[in-house]
Amino acid sequence: MQAFIYPVIIAIAIAFIASLLLALAAKFMSVPVNETQVKIREQLPGANCGACGFAGCDDYAAALAAEGSTVKTNLCVPGADAAAAAIAAILGQDALDVIEQVANVRCSGLCDSTKPEMDYQGIKTCAAAKSMFGGPGSCKFGCIGFGDCQKVCPYGAIEVCNGLAKVNREVCVGCGLCAATCPQKIIDIIPDVKRVFVACSSADKGAVTNKLCSAGCIGCKLCEKACKFDAIHVEDNHAKIDPEKCKNCGLCAKACPKKVIHVYPKPNVKPFVKVG
């Protein structure tokens, strides 16, 4: 009988000593919690996108809560005005406005607009496909269409439809994760009040673009002539809009023979969405 009792007693003693050591460690080695930082972190969406300029929501909250901090309370683009106002209230500051951002894909090349150059059988990611001669599409500047941007978006605001990534502007919060992920670098993050956008990135000459994609900018400059604010110019063989000058009038879109200049409706107020 004793052969069974002694091991049990030893196991209980070891467990007691271990729990005692853990309790002492928790008391003497614990890191003080900054309650202000905790409260601020609760107001952030948890996207950890880096749009604020910090590594993630935790770092931004820590920077805001630091003694003597001069970090602005309106840097969280996904959190928008709701998060900025809540953070300002915690810190006893005046609320600052957040300039809401939105993603735009500079491509119009649907499956029926352009043709593949090769039958790609590799890993179905844009990054992998681009490593194979620039991608399977005949246009080497457009959307590859395997959805790397869609997979990384924590808000479900972008998806691939008919071979082309499309952004739901009502859901997109402009965190920038899709833009950072896209190997083609054809996703821009711009203020959502800017509603006129050129959906083409081709740097080929007009005749070549027209041959490769029926929905590509041919650099005809009719948009330049139509614009009254000097806001759009053809550079690298495709039209580019200066968002600082653009007045959202849409005259360039009406003049575009290829219909690659889009005019989006006025944005609605976006709800705060917490993802983590």
Tell me: the pLDDT tens digits for 43-70? 999 989 988 999 999 999 999 999 899 9
Shared-domain flag, residues 68 and 135 = no
Q: Give me the pLDDT at residue 272, please.
A: 59
Mean pLDDT over the full length of the chain? 91
Final residue of a structural domain among 25, 60, 91: 91
Q: What is the pLDDT of residue 151?
A: 97
Please indicate, yes or no, if residue 121 is contained in any of the structural domains.
Answer: yes
pLDDT higher than 70, residue 19: yes
Domain range for residue 53? 35-91
Q: How many CB atoms lie within 10 A of CB 1?
A: 4
Contact 45, 274 (CB under 8 A): yes
Residue 124: inside a domain: yes
Is 22 part of a structural domain of the chain?
A: no
Examine the domain organization and report whether 160 and 83 are in the same domain: no
> Domain ends where: 91, 114, 133?
91
CA 221 distance to own-chain centroid = 31
Q: Would 52 be classed as within a structural domain?
A: yes
Minimal CA–CA distance to 34: which of 59, 57, 56, 66? 66
In the prediction, which pLDDT does 17 show?
A: 86
- Final residue of a structural domain among 62, 91, 120: 91
Co-location of 189 and 236 in the same domain? yes
pTM of the model: 0.79
Residue 145 counted as domain residue: yes
Whether the CB-CB separation of 43 and 83 falls below 8 Å is answered with yes
**One domain, residues 158 and 51:** no
- Report if residue 17 sits inside a domain: no
Tell me, yes or no, whether 68 and 124 share the same domain. no
Which domain CATH number covers 86? Answer: 1.10.15.40
How confident is residue 21, by pLDDT bands cut at 50, 70 and 90?
confident
The DSSP result for 73-105, as a single string, is: TT--TTTHHHHHHHHHHHHT--------EEEEE
Q: For residue 129, is pLDDT > 90?
A: yes
Burial class for 56, CB neighbours closer than 10 Å (0-12, 13-18, 19+): middle
Q: How far apart are CA 181 and CA 105, in angstroms?
A: 13
Query: Structural domain tally of the chain?
Result: 2
User: Are 75 and 116 within one domain?
Assistant: no
**Do 74 and 108 sit in the same domain of this protein?**
no
Q: Is the pLDDT of residue 273 over 70?
A: no
Task: Assign 20 a pLDDT band (cuts: 50, 70, 90).
Answer: confident
Helix-, strand-, coil-residue percentages of the chain, each rounded to 5: 30, 15, 55
Q: Has residue 1 got a pLDDT over 70?
A: no
**Residue 276: pLDDT over 60:** no
The identity of residue 196, as a single letter, is V
For residue 184, is it within any domain? yes
The CATH number of whichever domain residue 166 belongs to comes to 3.30.70.20
- Distance, in Å, from the CA atom of 140 to the CA atom of 108, rounded to the nearest integer, reads 13
Euclidean distance between CA atoms 152 and 230, whole angstroms: 36
Residues 125, 178 within the same domain? yes
- pLDDT in the model for residue 5: 77
pLDDT band at 241 (very low <50, low <70, confident <90, very high): very high
Q: What is the pLDDT of residues 78-108, one digit of tens each?
A: 999 999 999 999 999 999 999 889 999 999 9
Given pLDDT bands bounded at 50, 70 and 90, which one contains residue 250?
very high
Q: Are residues 60 and 107 in the same domain?
A: no
Same domain, 152 and 256: yes
247 and 153, same structural domain?
A: yes
Residue 4 falls inside a structural domain = no
User: According to the model, what pLDDT value does residue 178 have?
Assistant: 97
Kindly tell me if the per-residue pLDDT of 209 is higher than 80. Answer: yes
Considering only CA atoms, which of 227, 224, 214, 211 is closest in space to residue 107?
A: 214
Please indicate, yes or no, whether residues 86 and 116 belong to a single structural domain of this protein.
Answer: no
